[in-house]
Amino acid sequence: MTNQEWTERYTGALMNTFGPPKLVLTRGRGAHVWDEDGTEYVDLLGGIAVNSLGHAHPALLEAVTGQLGTLGHISNFFASEPQVRLAERLLDLVGRVASDTERIETPGRVFFANSGAEANEAAFKLTRRTGRTHVVAAQGGFHGRTMGALALTSKEAYRTPFEPLPGDVTFVPYGDAEALAAAVTDETAAILLEPIQGEAGVVIPPDGYLAAARAIATEHGALLWLDEVQTGIGRTGRWFAHQKPGAGEVTPDIVTVAKGLAGGIPIGACIGLGAAATLFEPGNHGTTFGGNPVACAAALAVIDTIEADGLLEHVTVLGHKLRDGLAANPRVTEVRGEGLLIGLDLATESSADVAAAALAHGFIVNNPTPARIRLAPPLVLTQDDADAFLAAWPAILDEAMGATTP
Ligand SMILES: *Cc1c(COP(=O)(O)O)cnc(C)c1O
C-alpha cells in the first residue's frame, strides 16, 4: 500500500478533525521515521513534544512490555507500584528548584489522567474546590479540547462552535503582569499560565512574569496553576520550565503535565502542591485508565533515561546550536525557545510552505501559525541530525519563500 492509498482509506473511515494526513508512517527509530513509500524523515516534531526518547527506544520498550507482561491494568480500586513510584518521582522533580533553600517542603499529591486535556480538567475541578470559580488565563494559551480545557483556551475558532462553555474565565494578554494584576481579585480561584506558550508558536514571557503571577496569586489567595503539558519533563533542558534559575523560578500550586511524560504512551498528571494537594476528597474526581501501571512504568523509564543519559544538558546544548543556526538567515526574523522547544518567525506568512518544503527535504517540522515554525524534536536528537537540518535550512527557505531576501 502507498501513502496515497492509505490516505484515501483514512479519509473514508476517520472523522475529519485533523484535515488530510501529511504522510502515513510505518516505523521509527531514534529521531527518524519512515513512511509507506519507504521514504525516511528526521522527526523534528516528535509527535508534538511527546516522543521524548524518540522512536523505539529500548528502555521504553522494555518498561512497557515488562509491565504489560506482569500487570497491565487494574482500576483505581487498587494501587500498583509503578503508580506510587511515579507520583513520588514527580513530586521530587517538581520540588527541585535551583536554590536548595527554597526547596518545596510542603506536601504534594498527584492525580493521574491520560492526556493533557484530562490533566487540566482535573486541575480545573481542583480549583473549584477552593469555593471560588473565577479563573484568569492568557490570550494565546492552549489547554486542550475537552469542554473544560476549551473554556480555558482563548482561541475563538476553537471555542465558538461549542459555546456555551464552562464560565467565569477572564483572558489577559500573555506576558503583561499589569494586566494580570488588574484581572485577579479576591474572588479568583486560580491563575492559569503556560510558562512558555507552545501552541502559540513558542512564546516566552518577559523575565519576572511568572514571579509576578506568583505574587499576584498569593496576594489574592488564588492558586498559581502552571500548564507544563508541553514544556515539562526535560523539554526546556530543565525538568520543568518554571525551574529557570533566577527570576524565572517560581513555586506553583498546581502543575499539569502530559505530552513527553511517558514518551508516547498516553498519560497526564495533575500535581497539587501545598494546600492544593488535598483539595479533592473521595468521590470528587475519578478515571478508569488514569494511573495505569503500563503508562506509569513508561514514564518512570523516560525519567530514568533522561537522568542516566544526561539529556537535560544535551537538550540545552543542542537547543542553543539549533537556534543559532536557524537564526542565521535573513528570512527568519526571530528565533525563540528553551532547550528543544523552538519557535521561529518568518518574514512572510509562509509557514505552511516552509513545512511542506522541509518535508520534501526529509524533515518533519510544524507550522502552528501562518508565520511561525515550531520544532519539538525527541530529546535524544543527535548532533548529526541537527546539523543535517541546518545544512538543508537555506534551501528549504529558498524553495518555500523564494531565493531573494525580502
Ligand atoms: C497539547 C497541550 C494540551 C492538551 O493536551 P492533549 O493531550 O492534546 O489533550 C494542554 N496544554 C498544553 C500546554 C498543550 O501543549
Query: What was the pLDDT predicted at 206?
Result: 96
pLDDT tens, 190-230?
Answer: 999 999 999 999 999 999 999 999 999 999 999 999 999 99
Q: Are residues 74 and 173 in the same domain?
A: yes
Q: Are residues 236 and 316 in the same domain?
A: no
What is the Cα 393 distance to its own chain's centre? Answer: 25
Supply the mean pLDDT for the chain. Answer: 95
- The whole-number average pLDDT for the span 308-319 is 98
The answer to whether 400 and 356 are in contact (CB under 8 A) is yes
Q: Are residues 169 and 255 in the same domain?
A: yes
Query: What was the pLDDT predicted at 95?
Result: 86
pLDDT tens, 249-272?
Answer: 899 999 999 999 999 999 999 999
Please give the distance, rounded to the nearest whole angstrom, from the Cα atom of residue 198 to the centre of ligand 1: 9
Q: Are residues 363 and 222 in the same domain?
A: no
Query: What was the pLDDT predicted at 133?
Result: 98
- The whole-number average pLDDT for the span 351-379 is 98
The CATH number linked to 350 is 3.90.1150.10
CA-wise closest residue to 396 among 359, 370, 371, 366: 359
Phi, psi values for residue 204, rounded to 5°? -100, 130
- The whole-number average pLDDT for the span 120-148 is 98
pLDDT tens, 141-188?
Answer: 999 999 999 999 999 999 999 999 998 999 999 999 999 999 999 999
**Is 198 near ligand 1, meaning CB less than 6 Å away?**
yes
The answer to whether 352 and 370 are in contact (CB under 8 A) is yes
Query: What was the pLDDT predicted at 290?
Result: 97
Asked if residue 269 is part of any domain, the answer here is yes
The answer to whether 50 and 230 are in contact (CB under 8 A) is no
Q: Are residues 304 and 315 in the same domain?
A: no
- How many CB atoms lie under 10 A from the CB of residue 79? 11
**Is 200 near ligand 1, meaning CB less than 6 Å away?**
no
CA distance 296 to 292: 6
**Is 368 near ligand 1, meaning CB less than 6 Å away?**
no
Asked if residue 360 is part of any domain, the answer here is yes
Query: What was the pLDDT predicted at 247?
Result: 73
Last residue of a domain, one of 293, 308, 323: 308
**Is 338 near ligand 1, meaning CB less than 6 Å away?**
no
Is the pLDDT reported for residue 406 higher than 60? Answer: no
Q: Are residues 325 and 285 in the same domain?
A: no
Q: Are residues 88 and 233 in the same domain?
A: yes
Query: What was the pLDDT predicted at 107?
Result: 82
Q: Are residues 361 and 239 in the same domain?
A: no
Tell me the residue length of the chain: 406
Close Cβ partners of 26 (under 8 Å, ≥ 6 residues apart): 34, 35, 36
**Helices H, strands E: what count in the chain?**
13, 15
pLDDT tens, 67-97?
Answer: 999 999 999 999 999 999 999 999 999 987 6
For ligand 1, atom 15, the nearest C-alpha belongs to: 230
Last residue of a domain, one of 308, 325, 354: 308
Close Cβ partners of 38 (under 8 Å, ≥ 6 residues apart): none
Asked if residue 406 is part of any domain, the answer here is no
**Is 199 near ligand 1, meaning CB less than 6 Å away?**
yes
Q: Place 284 in a pLDDT band, splitting at 50, 70 and 90.
A: very high
Asked if residue 107 is part of any domain, the answer here is yes
The CATH number linked to 157 is 3.40.640.10
Is the pLDDT reported for residue 126 higher than 60? Answer: yes
Domain count, the chain: 2
Phi, psi values for residue 199, rounded to 5°? -65, -20
Question: Could you tell me the sign of the dihedral formed by the alpha carbons of 304, 290, 93, 56, in that order?
Answer: positive
Please give the distance, rounded to the nearest whole angstrom, from the Cα atom of residue 392 to the centre of ligand 1: 30
Last residue of a domain, one of 308, 327, 351: 308
CA distance 54 to 217: 37
The answer to whether 346 and 371 are in contact (CB under 8 A) is yes
Q: Are residues 300 and 326 in the same domain?
A: no
Q: Are residues 258 and 283 in the same domain?
A: yes
What is the Cα 329 distance to its own chain's centre? Answer: 27
Q: Are residues 229 and 105 in the same domain?
A: yes
The answer to whether 74 and 293 are in contact (CB under 8 A) is yes
Domain with 326 in it: 3-56+310-401
Query: What was the pLDDT predicted at 66?
Result: 98
Q: Are residues 389 and 251 in the same domain?
A: no
